[in-house]
Structure 1
Amino acid sequence: MADRPDSEQPENEEHGILDEERVDTSGIFLGGSTAQVDVAFPVPADDDDAIDEDFDESSAQERMTQPAPAERADTAEAEIIDDAVADAPQERHDMDIEDAVEADEPEPAPAFTDRVAVSVAQPVRAVEPTAAVFDVTLASKRLGELEVSREGADVLTADRLLDPHHVAKVEPEGFWQSTLYRASGTLINLGDSKKARARKELSRRIAAPLPGGARFVPVLSRKGGVGKTTVTTLLGMALADARDDRVVAVDANPDRGTLAERIGRTSGKTIRDLVRIKDEVVGYNDLSTIVARDETRLDVLASDADPRVSEAFGDDDYRAAAAVAAHYYSVVLTDTGTGIVHSVMSATLERADALVVVAGLSIDEARLASETLTWLETNGYGDRVREAVVVLNTTRPGSPLVRADEVEAHFRTRVRAVIRMPYDSHIASGAAIGFHEIHPATREAARQLAAAVVESLRTPAVV
C-alpha cells in the first residue's frame, strides 16, 4: 500500500493520530514508573518537511503522556507490548517484497524514519521503607573445601612437602631397640624402650606451659641442716634444664645463704645490688649482670656475704626484688631462711603460688615439718598446703633410723605429693653441684620434684 501525500488525507483524520498498522515499535523501554515507546513516522522521499507541517508534536505529546485510568494501570505495559509485536513493520516490508517479486520489480529500499520517544505514564505504588537486612555468615573452610588456587600457607606442612625417603628417621632409644634398628638398615623400628619413654614423659610434664605471669615457689624448713638450699638448687636445675623459659633461684636467707656457692659460679653481685638499681632495670641485659647462671641455664640471685648487712634485708627489699624478677622470669624459687618467722617470710608467703617443705628422716625433723604445715593452715595458707610438695631428704649414708614409708604415708595425707631425695656423696661434700654429674637416682628424684611442682602450679588454688 503506497503512502499518500498529506494533502490528500481526509479532513476527518486527526493529525498526530497514527493508524495502528503504521506504528513501528522497534524499541520498547521500561524504566522506573514509565514505559517508553519508539514511534516511527514515515517520511516521504520528496517532502522532508511534511511531518513538521501537519503534525502538532506538542499536542500529541500532551495526549500521549496523559496518565491512564487507575483500573487500566496494571495492563498498560502488556497492551503496548502486544500492539508493538502485532504491528511490527517487518510484515509490511515482507509483503512489499513479495509484490515486487511478482511484478518483476526490484525490491524497494526501506525508508528512513525518524523516531520520537513517547512516555506512557504508569502509576507508582507507594512502598513502605524497610531496613535492609544482611545475613552474613563467616565460616572457615577446610582444606578440602578450598579452591585449588586459594590454598593458604598453613597447608605447607612438613608431612606434605618432605619426601619420606629423604627424611632422617629418629633412632629409638634402648639397647635392643637401637641394635635391631641399625642391623636392619633402619627398616625395623620398635620404638623407644620403656625407660626412655618414661624419661621423655617426665620431661614433658616438667616443660608443661604455665599460663599467666611469673610463679613464685618458696622452699621452707623449720630446722637447719636438712638440705633446704640443696633441694632449692636441684629443683631449679631440673626446671631450667627441661623448660624453655627462664628460671631464677633467689637467696632470701637473712643469715648469709650459700645458694650461689652450690652452682660454682658467682657474678660478684647480690640481691642488695638489684634492690639498689631496681628503677634502672629496663631489660634482661641489665639483670644478667647481677645474677649468676649455671650450665642448665638456672639463674641465681645471691644474698649478702656479710651477716651484718644481710640482717637488714626485709620484706620491702624482697618485694622490690621480686617485682623486678617477675618481669623477666616464669618461675621464681626462693630459698628462705631457717624457720617460718623472720624478716622475709611474710613477703615470701604472700606471693607464694606453690610450697615446697623440706623434712629430714628423723623423728624431730619429721615432726617440725608436720608442724610447719599446721602453722601454714592456721594462718590462711590451707589451700597452698593441700597443693604443697614435701621432700624427704636423706642427708646421711646408709639406712635411716626411722621407717621412711611411715613418714611418707603421714605426709601424703596432708599434701599433694611426697618426693624422696636419696643420699648423694657428691652433694654431701658441699662442692658445687653439676646436674649431669650427680648420681642418676638423685637427678631422677630432682626431676620428679620439678614435675610435681609444675603440676601444683598448673592446678588452680581452691580458696
Structure 2
Amino acid sequence: MIVASTVKLNAKVTLVDRTGTRVPAGSLEQAVAMIAGWAHQSTPVLGLARQHETDPSFVPGRWALAEGQLGPAPGTDVPDYLLEYTEWHLDDQAGYLYPVTPTSLDTIGQAVATRAGHEITITSDLPGVRTHRYAPATDTTADSDVAAVLAHDAATVVPSWVPQLDQYVLGTMVSDRPVSTAQAFATRTQTRRQALGPARTGWRGALNNAVGLSIAPGSGEQHTRHLHATIQKGLAGHRSAVVVNIKGGASKTTATYLLGATLGRVRGGMVLAWDNNENSGNLADRALPAAHSHTALDLLERIADFTTPKHADRLAGYVRPQGDNKFHVLASQNEAGNTEVIDAEAFRTMHAALRQFYGLALVDTGNASTAPTWQAAIDVADVLVVAIANKEDAARRAFTTIDALRNQGYGDKLDNAVALITQPRTASPQRLKDITDTLEGLVRAIAVIPFDRALDDGGQIIWESLSNSTRQAYLQATAHVIEGM
C-alpha cells in the first residue's frame, strides 16, 4: 500500500505595501524576488495581512528579507509589506494540485487521515501558516463529509479525487487493488527524493559543494525546479506564442527575446523568435549578430525550398543563432515605410514552413491591429502574451489592444493569455495596482518584470548582465506561457 503522510498547503500571494497598494505576486518565491528587486533604505520586513493575523489558522509574526532569504524579525517592527493569501490549494507528493478553502481544510485533513489509516500532516512554506496534523478517526462518516464540502467549495474546479477517496488520497493510491510492478517502481519514494536532489544554489548549495554534504534544497530552489519542470513539459506538436501591444515601446521585443532565451536555456530544442513587424522591427538590434544580414523578406523569396525538411541545413543562412541562449532569431524586413512587405498570406506560408523546423515560435508583432499580417499572427497563436510597460500610455494602449482582440473575435484566446507588466526605472505602485486589477478576469496569468538597468538602453540583450530577479521573473512568465500550451 502506497500512502501519503505529508502534503503541502500553498496559496497565491499578494503584496500590500504601506500605502495599501496591492501587487499580485503569484507565489511566495516570486514575491520575494519582486521585493529584492525594489530599492529599500533598510532590510524589508514582512507581516501577515490583517485578516490573517486574527485567524486561528495563522501564527502572527514578522519576517525580514535579507540576501533573498526570509528570517525572523522583531515583532515590534512595522512591516513594509503585508502578505495576503488567496486561492488555496494542496500539493501532493506526486505534484497534483487540489483547490481548497481554509474552512474545508480540517474536514479534508481528517477525512484523508481516516481513509489512509495513519496521521496526515498538512504543512506550508508560507510564513505564518500553521502546520495541521490529523490522526485517523473511528467515525467513517468523514468520507461523505469531505465529499460534500468539496462539492460545495470547489464547484467550478472539481479535483479528480472527489468523491472517490476510497481510490485515491491526494492523488496517491491507497486502495488494496494491485498496481503494476512498473508503476510501483516508477513512483517509489526514492525516485521522488532523487528528483529533488541536493541543493545546488544558495548557502545550501555552497555547503554541498564545499563540504560534500547533501542538504535538501530550500523552498526557493524547489520552486525554481518546479518552474523548470513546467517549462520542460512535452508538447504535442508545434506551438506559437504571439506578443502584442499596439503601442511601440511597451517591451514587446524585450519580452519576445527573453522568453526565447529562457526557453532555449531551460527547455532546449528548436526555438524561434520571429520579428513579424508589418514594416521594420528592431528584434535584430537586440539580438546577437549573425554572419549574414538576411531577413524574413529574404527567407520569403526562397520559402519554396523549405516546404519539406530536405533543405534544413540552408535555414542557417536566414536565421540568427543566439549563442548560449540556444534559440534563433528571424529578423523583420529592414525596409521602413507605410507599405506592408510581408502580408497575411506570406506570413501563413512562412509559418507553415517554419513549424516543421521549430517546436516553439515566439512572434513579435507591430503596432497596427488592423494590419493583415498582425491578424494572421493572432490566428496561429496558441498563447497570446500582452506586453505592458507600467507607463500611462503603454497601459492605455494595452487595454485598447485587448478591446481590439475581443472585438475581432479572439475572446477565447484572451482567456488563455498571459500579461507581462514591465516596471520602468520609476514605477508607480498605484498604476501597477490599477493595471493588475483591470487585467483580473481578462487574462489567464499575470507576471511582473522588475526594472533592470541592463535592458534600459535598448541595446543588445546580454543574458549574463541581467539581474537574478529579472531572470526569475522571466522564468515564471515562461512557465505561464507553457501552461497555456
Pairwise same-fold verdict (TM > 0.5): yes
* Secondary structure class of the residue paired with 1:348: helix
Aligned counterpart for 1:217 among listed residues 241, 244, 252 = 241
Cα pair 2:287 2:322 within 8 Å, conserved: yes
Cα pair 1:363 1:402 within 8 Å, conserved: no
Q: By how many angstroms is 1:171 displaced?
A: 5.2
Cα pair 1:390 1:415 within 8 Å, conserved: yes
Aligned counterpart for 2:427 among listed residues 399, 417, 433 = 399
Does 2:360 align with 1:336? no
- The alignment's C-alpha RMSD in Å is 2.9
Relative to structure 1, the CA distance from residue 178 to residue 347 in structure 2 (aligned partners, 3 Å threshold; closer, same or farther) is closer
User: 2:413 aligns to what?
Assistant: 384
Relative to structure 1, the CA distance from residue 177 to residue 439 in structure 2 (aligned partners, 3 Å threshold; closer, same or farther) is closer
Does 2:457 align with 1:432? no
Q: Distance in 2 between matches of 1:449 and 1:352?
A: 17
Aligned counterpart for 1:373 among listed residues 398, 402, 408 = 402
Q: Distance in 2 between matches of 1:176 and 1:347?
A: 49
Deviations along 1:410-448, whole A, 9 cap, x unmatched?
Answer: 202211011112211111112211223211111111111
The normalised TM-score by structure 1 is 0.59
Q: Which has the higher strand share?
A: 2
Q: Distance in 2 between matches of 1:417 and 1:271?
A: 31
Relative to structure 1, the CA distance from residue 180 to residue 320 in structure 2 (aligned partners, 3 Å threshold; closer, same or farther) is closer
Letter in 1 for 2:243: V
Q: By how many angstroms is 1:225 displaced?
A: 1.5
Q: Which protein is bigger by CA-based radius of gyration?
A: 1
Q: Distance in 2 between matches of 1:308 and 1:190?
A: 59
User: 1:278 aligns to what?
Assistant: 303
User: Which aligned pairs between 1:348-359 and structure 2 lie closer than 5 A?
Assistant: 348-359=377-388
Q: By how many angstroms is 1:262 displaced?
A: 0.9
User: Which aligned pairs between 1:169-184 and structure 2 lie closer than 5 A?
Assistant: 172-178=199-205, 181=208
Letter in 1 for 2:293: G
Does 2:346 align with 1:322? no
Q: By how many angstroms is 1:364 displaced?
A: 3.6
Deviations along 1:116-164, whole A, 9 cap, x unmatched?
Answer: xxxxxxxxxxxxxxxxxxxxxxxx9968xxxxxxxxxx99xxx9xxxxx
Aligned counterpart for 1:248 among listed residues 272, 278, 281 = 272
Does 2:220 align with 1:195? yes
Q: By how many angstroms is 1:374 displaced?
A: 2.3
Q: Distance in 2 between matches of 1:179 and 1:300?
A: 36
User: 2:82 aligns to what?
Assistant: none
Relative to structure 1, the CA distance from residue 363 to residue 309 in structure 2 (aligned partners, 3 Å threshold; closer, same or farther) is closer
User: 1:421 aligns to what?
Assistant: 449
Cα pair 2:288 2:320 within 8 Å, conserved: no
Unaligned runs of 5+ in 2: 1-178
Q: By how many angstroms is 1:385 displaced?
A: 0.5
* Secondary structure class of the residue paired with 1:307: coil
Deviations along 1:336-392, whole A, 9 cap, x unmatched?
Answer: 111311141121122111101112223343232223222222322111000101111
Letter in 2 for 1:428: D
Cα pair 1:256 1:310 within 8 Å, conserved: no
Aligned counterpart for 2:470 among listed residues 439, 442, 449 = 442
Letter in 2 for 1:192: P
Relative to structure 1, the CA distance from residue 347 to residue 402 in structure 2 (aligned partners, 3 Å threshold; closer, same or farther) is same
User: 2:391 aligns to what?
Assistant: 362
Relative to structure 1, the CA distance from residue 341 to residue 402 in structure 2 (aligned partners, 3 Å threshold; closer, same or farther) is farther
User: 1:455 aligns to what?
Assistant: 483
Cα pair 2:279 2:341 within 8 Å, conserved: no
Deviations along 1:297-331, whole A, 9 cap, x unmatched?
Answer: 11011112122597322112211211111101111
Q: Distance in 2 between matches of 1:253 and 1:293?
A: 20
Cα pair 1:389 1:419 within 8 Å, conserved: yes
The normalised TM-score by structure 2 is 0.56
Does 2:324 align with 1:300? no
Q: Distance in 1 between matches of 2:314 and 2:339?
A: 23
Cα pair 1:361 1:402 within 8 Å, conserved: no
Deviations along 1:163-182, whole A, 9 cap, x unmatched?
Answer: xxxx9x97532454346546
Relative to structure 1, the CA distance from residue 339 to residue 219 in structure 2 (aligned partners, 3 Å threshold; closer, same or farther) is same
Relative to structure 1, the CA distance from residue 397 to residue 284 in structure 2 (aligned partners, 3 Å threshold; closer, same or farther) is same
User: 1:289 aligns to what?
Assistant: 317
* Secondary structure class of the residue paired with 1:305: coil
Unaligned runs of 5+ in 1: 1-139, 144-153, 160-166, 458-463
Relative to structure 1, the CA distance from residue 181 to residue 290 in structure 2 (aligned partners, 3 Å threshold; closer, same or farther) is closer
Letter in 1 for 2:260: G
How many residue pairs get aligned? The number is 294
User: 1:205 aligns to what?
Assistant: 230
Q: By how many angstroms is 1:210 displaced?
A: 1.0
User: 2:288 aligns to what?
Assistant: 264
* Secondary structure class of the residue paired with 1:419: strand
Letter in 2 for 1:177: R
Which segments of structure 1 move beyond 4 Å, counting only runs of 4 or more? 140-143, 178-183
Percent of counterpart pairs with the same letter? 27
Letter in 2 for 1:252: N
Relative to structure 1, the CA distance from residue 175 to residue 421 in structure 2 (aligned partners, 3 Å threshold; closer, same or farther) is closer
User: 1:346 aligns to what?
Assistant: 375
Relative to structure 1, the CA distance from residue 200 to residue 312 in structure 2 (aligned partners, 3 Å threshold; closer, same or farther) is same
